[in-house]
Structure 1
Amino acid sequence: MSAGEPSPQREPTPTSTSTIAAPVSSIPQKRALEDDHQPAISSPLNPDFKPAKPQEDAPLARERASRAKKESLKKRESKGGSMAADSSARATPDPKAPTPKHKPKKKGDAPAPIRYKLPPPKLTDFEAPRGPIFLPAHTKTAPDGTAVQFNETTDHVYNKKNFHYTHCIADPAFPSSLYYRQTETEPFGPRFNFEDTSTHMFLDESGHHVTTDKGFRMAKANVGVRQGRWYWECKIISGIPKRKPSETNVTQESANGHVRMGWARREASLDAPVGFDTYSYGVRDAKGQKVFMSRPKDFFPPGQEVQEGDVIGLEINLPSEALHRKVVEGHYNPAVDLADDEPCGIEAADIIRDRVPIRFKAHLYFEQIEYHAVKELEELMNPSPIISSTGGIGGVGQEPGPTHQLPSLRTLPHSSIKIYKNGELIGTPFTDLLAFLPPASKPLAQVGAREGLDDGMLGYYPAVSVFRGGAAEVNFGPNFWFPPPGHTQPDAQVDAEMTGSDQAAPSASAPHPLRAVGERYDEQIVEDIVYDIVDEVDFWMQDGGVSGKGVADAALRAPAGGSAQDGMPGGGVLGSEIKELVQDDE
């Protein structure tokens, strides 16, 4: 206190007889227990629950500022997807995005795809996408003397780390879908999928030859099958050399590598051979054994194996999707559904694709959450002694079947895989294949994942595995090296009356005609176009029937510095871009 200032006078303490009363608002008030601590819902500890009425005229209650609730480290890690960029499928969908106005009214109606926040596309996003860059690696000589140039593929993303990628492009005809739709890249046609191969693999520019200098790696085709009978061929370029049964040359055999071929689902691991787990069925070249769940069993006649120059034909027979859905939904009755007499395509499936465009080295991809291996099938492959001795938990210990308690362990009636060698039928190594339609297949549990949805790309894919120098060539038809029985080459001049005269009529268990896997390529493109149009109409309805609402409108309003040609928005007119994906090749 400085000199000259008057000394402060102490105020008298208020008493019950004092005439000076402190303001009521300055006196701390006791919180009402029944108002502040009453549970929001009833519970066993609160049987006499009565919802409290809000008291608007409560001047004595002190207002408390809302406190930000902190999450534990474990919870934050489990929600790691929400920390990603807004343009990533790992990100949480836009909470302010308009909710669908057309809610499902009937049981079984599919929900609408998730709509993400997206910046407007750049002008370059409307350009046709390019395939990978090929860097020459080495040359191999096929058994017929043909030189095959193998290349390392770069500048493309791999389907790994629990995400699946397909090419996309911006299209002004899809404003409600924020302009992006699915597309394909060169080389066009059925081939190996450059994004669906393991790393450290070498392919030719046509995408029909594959090899590696590492351990077992897998490559899948860009076409998959969901119903019907399909056929493709695999020729051994480098593997077990031709020799007499009495000859053994382990050194030469090891130097040429090994090859396995078969059928694999989406969930099959790319860093393992075909037949490694419950998601693929394969045939190995050594001893001609069949492999499923890493358990090789004799299949070829004694003394036979798959050698260089041999052509292995693989036929798959799948029931109709109508019967398939009966199985996975638990409506299949073996006493009633005796035969698969449902024609293919009689009922269209509800396809829901939750995906978001991602930029990777100047390429655009749709990123979506991948389906993953479920515990029930892991237990089937590596059964626990405790669970097996107790008969299984939740039906896990039971053998797979079409009426299994768990959808992932249900099998498809009338399904099988047949193997041919140089045009001769060897036999049927696999029957009762595991179902793949949801809920038999489940996406990885993370932010944005929704179970029970079919994205249209589930099915069985032709797959080839190579090991330390092993090399193979695939032929998806329609002209095969060794046409299977019942298949007529398109360029063959055969009298129509004589065609199939020496072939047996299709049985009730295989009513579908045999087709080349390559025919699925054009069908998949048509399906993608239809699905894109359906999504566009769906989003258009969400916007109230006004096309180009939201971000699409902002993209079309190009400022003076921007450019818009033929209805295309100026590139980056709002100063924001799709985040670039970082993915190593190891």
Structure 2
Amino acid sequence: MEWTDVETKERLLLDDEPSVTSAADESSQQSSGGGGAPPNALCYCERERDVRQVELQCCRCLKWFHKQCVTSAVGRCLPFMTCYTFWCRDCGADSVEAFSRRQTNFSQMCETAIANLMVGAEEDGNRVSFSKDREIIPFIDANWEVLTTMPRRIKHTWHQTVVKTMTKETDTFIHDARDPNDPHFALRNQDLLRIGPNYDSARIDPAGGVPNRFGGRGAKRRFEPSEALAAKRQKSELSSPKLPPNGFPAEFPFNKDGYRYVLAEPDPHGPFRQEFEESQDLAGKPIPGWLCRKLMPDWVALSLHDRATQLKISEDRRTVCGEKGYCMVRANYGVRRGLWFFEVRVEDMPDGAAVRLGVAQELANIQAPLGYDKFGYSVRSRKGTKFHDSRGQHFADSGFGAGDVIGFLLELPDGADSALLNTYKDKPLVKFKSYLYFEEKDDIPKQTRELRPLADSRLTVFKNGRPLGTAFHDLYAGTYYPSASLYKSASVSFNFGPKFEFPPKGRAFDAMSAVVATQQTEQTLSEVLYFVENEGRLRLDIFYGGN
């Protein structure tokens, strides 16, 4: 279908769209995203839908939820994504949210791209038609890893596939061919609220589990074209299995014996990545570190591998339970500048048990009480004693026990540490249970000698909203992680925000949960600068000692 002028374009759009007579009629229509629920079904927060932000539709109740209201780790998303399955906490198994991505095709990618371009063009005369070369393809290219689980295409033949897809699928797209050298495309249905996941194509487990896309147990699996091609390809040395819902492998190497392990993922921008994956001569050989990058989770939680092995972590990675002697766990994100707050609720404190709560750097000994060395600061439940470098001092008039909520306000002056984040790209990669990890050797004596106090830094402690005072001044400069050490079977739960039971009053602070976006940006910047500084040296022949 071709347009000859603006009037014809507008007439086609009006003729092809269903008429909307009232809000009630609109709500009763079937949603293109799997629908029986009204397109404005409310989120937990009971606010209306907003096409300018990411929203997820539950596959069971078909309600829409704002991404910032969802606690499940969903990763980076775009508005109008359609290839995912989401369970809200009212519908998920054990009242837990769940999110998983599904394979997408070019038609769905183009629909998402044009919908986002429409929202972005609201201040530009509400345009609905967009250039294939100047707008649609650049948008898909810039957001490839978000739009699809397919590997990024190295060759640009996919550009022509985009054109063929939108030209052929006239039920979804309208083609403006007035300028053969600059084709434009628009969505046939201009109602953006109707764009959503097609849950009709997936059979959802009645227990709220993973979707059964392929019918019963004996049903033959039908591959989509992209999946069939992937199945024929030889498995890449860089590939890893999909992570479990809690965002970390079920089996992993613990940080111990002077070594630290950092979960890695393939870096789509790594130099000579395609050559490495296509070479059969390099199979089984060490993998250059620059081909991978540190995996940056989308939520703050207790670390599964940066803890003592005897500690038990809950499925949501917020609660930890101790066993026997003192040992420690850290969060998966730390901070090095700014004013940050988090809370810890004492869930259970049996007779003879105890906990130490506070902050620690990554080199603090996890098989010891928090505050055992120079890298940790803590307050103990017994008598409210504070500890640093194995020195205990009186701090509070009384300790704390089950039911108490202990808040920590950590102040690290701005500009305290301007160094770039560690990219780990110069570290060796090791594979453990099919997952890749950067391996880093600790040099604790050297790091201890280099410790320097950070002027005007402080750690202030609260008990059930009541300030107990500043426990520590002039902490050593470095990155600090929310931490806890537990003795016997005590258990505590961390709250990283953004909502707190007892937020500090009169201070403008950041919730610990807000550190994710900041560090993801800083990590990306560090990786880009690493590539720039090492341009020309990151070559496979140099790494493997060739000429």
TM-score under structure 1 length normalisation: 0.47
Work out which of the two has the higher radius of gyration on C-alpha atoms and give 1 or 2.
Answer: 1
Query: Structure 2 length as normaliser, TM-score?
Result: 0.50
Structure with the largest fraction of helix: 2
